[in-house]
Each structure stands twice: as C-alpha cells, then as structure tokens.
Amino acid sequence: MRKQIAAANWKMNLTLQKGEELFDDIIALPHELKADQQAIFAVPFPYLAMAQQKVHGRKNAFIAAQNCYNKKSGAYTGETSVEMLQSLGISYVVLGHSERREYFNESNQFLAEKVNICLENNIHPIFCCGEALSVREANGQNDFVAKQLEESLFHLSAEQIQKVVIAYEPIWAIGTGKTATSEQAQEIHKFIRSQFAAKYGVAVAENISILYGGSVKGSNAKELFSQPDVDGGLVGGASLVASEFVAIINALK
Ligand code: PGA
C-alpha cells in the first residue's frame, strides 16, 4: 500500500536553536504515525545532523535534504553530494521545487540527473512538479506537468519509479494562502497517476505517493487528504508552527 506522508519543507527559515525547539514542540504534541504513514522533515543543510538526532528511534519519521548536486564528488564549491547525505543517514531529498526551478534555473534534464544519482545511492527523491498561474488560466496544467514528469522521471525503471515520491505543487498556491480546492487537487493527482499507469501499469502507479503542496494548513489538510489520489502534503509555512504541522500529521488518512 502506498504511504500517506506529511512532509515539512522548512525552506530557508529558522535558526538551529529555533529548529530544535520546533522538533521538541512537535514531539511533545499528541500524534500517531500508523504503519503506512510517515512524517518527513526537509530541513536546511546545517540542521540535518541535529534533525537526524531528533527523529532517531521515532517510528516512521524521516529527515530530508532540500537539494543535492548531480555529481558524485569533486571541485564543486558550495554543493552537497548524495554521498554526504547518505553518510548522515538521510533517506529523502526534495528535488525540483518551483523555487529552485525559478531562482536557480533547474531544468527538467538537470533534475533527471539528480534523480538518478539519488536512486543510485538509495535516497528517495521527493520530486516536485506544478504549473504557474498563467498556465492554469490557459488550462494547460496537465500538459505542463506531464512534460515535467516525462523529462525528469520517465527514463526510470518500474522498480525505480516506486522509490520516488511526487509532490504536485501549483505555483499559484505556494505561500499565497490560496489553496487548490480538493476537487482541483484530486483532478490533477488522478491525471498524474494516470500518466504513471500509462507508462508503468496500474499496479505500479497505485504504489506511488502523490502529495499536494501549496498553502496546506491544519484547517484544510483533512479535506485535501480525503481525496483518493491525494496521499498527504508537502507543507511550507504551516510546517514552521508545531500545532499546525501536528494537525496536518493527524489529518493523514
Ligand atoms: P506553502 O509552501 O505551504 O508555504 O505554500 C509549500 C511548498 O513550497 O512546499
């Protein structure tokens, strides 16, 4: 059965001390992760070791990096390799977030290389896709997302694709307070799953977790996650508030 996932994306926020406090506050609040549910925390690089310690021994809680480089090692000042992440015990990496695509010009092809190096090293990519408002207004979201999936993921084998988590994040809903309706989310998640089914077969597609991202909060998570093809969320702003993120964890189906 595919996993239901509450993934926190701290982005470039918090200090080490505030991050530690946030973990302690989340741990102190009542929440339960069932066998098929996971909480994942994508924290800034300097906090990865701290974060690993905080979730150590906690069932179904994992740490993610927010990025990695597409090369194994070498003279790439300022970059972080998957081998480094692996040596810390990191199991997930967020790839292709719209902020990285926009501010750091990450292309579908470049992301395909990052996906490959992660999978070669047993790290699960949380692969982000999603369209801008202008694309949605022209009703071009399906074609746009299909191209992102095709160019970055469709070279993978059926075994590999099941190690990837998808996060559909419409850019117009990220950090804007404007959430996609649960119907809008379900419609495109179903379309995304159909793309995987066409390429890899229904059984493989049914195994892939597809998260929704874009202004998810405690108050709307349950409604979004109740949709059959919405397998949890990738959460920015609300993941920085312990009570909000715990409400999101508790909204998983
Ligand atoms: P948001 O961010 O929840 O603040 O909209 C989501 C994301 O960018 O992952």
Reduced to 3 states, what is the DSSP secondary structure of residue 107?
coil
- Give yes or no: 97 in active site: yes
Q: Which of 99, 106, 131, 169 is catalytic?
A: 169
Contact between residue 165 and residue 5 where contact means Cβ atoms under 8 Å apart: yes
* Ligand 1 atom with least separation from CA of 173: 5
Tens place of pLDDT per residue across the chain (253 aa) = 899 999 999 999 999 999 999 999 999 998 999 999 999 999 999 999 999 999 999 999 999 999 999 999 999 999 999 999 999 999 999 999 999 999 999 999 999 999 999 999 999 999 999 999 999 999 999 999 999 999 999 999 999 999 999 999 999 988 888 888 999 999 999 999 999 999 999 999 999 999 999 999 999 999 999 999 999 999 999 999 999 999 999 999 9
pTM: 0.97
Closest CA to 11 of 44, 47, 52, 48: 44
Name the E strands within 159-250.
Answer: 165-168, 210-213, 232-235
Residue 56 appears among annotated catalytic residues: no
Residue at 222: amino acid letter? K
Q: Which residues contact 80 (CB under 8 A, 6 or more apart)?
A: 45, 65, 67, 68, 69
| CATH for the 4-250 domain, from 1.10.10.10, 2.60.210.10, 3.20.20.70, 3.30.980.10 | 3.20.20.70
Distance linking the first and last C-alpha atoms of the chain: 12
Per residue in 128-151, pLDDT tens? Answer: 999 999 999 999 999 999 999 999
Question: Ligand 1: which residues within 6 Å by Cβ?
Answer: 9, 169, 174-175, 213-216, 234-238
Can you give the residue ranges of every domain in the chain?
A: 4-250
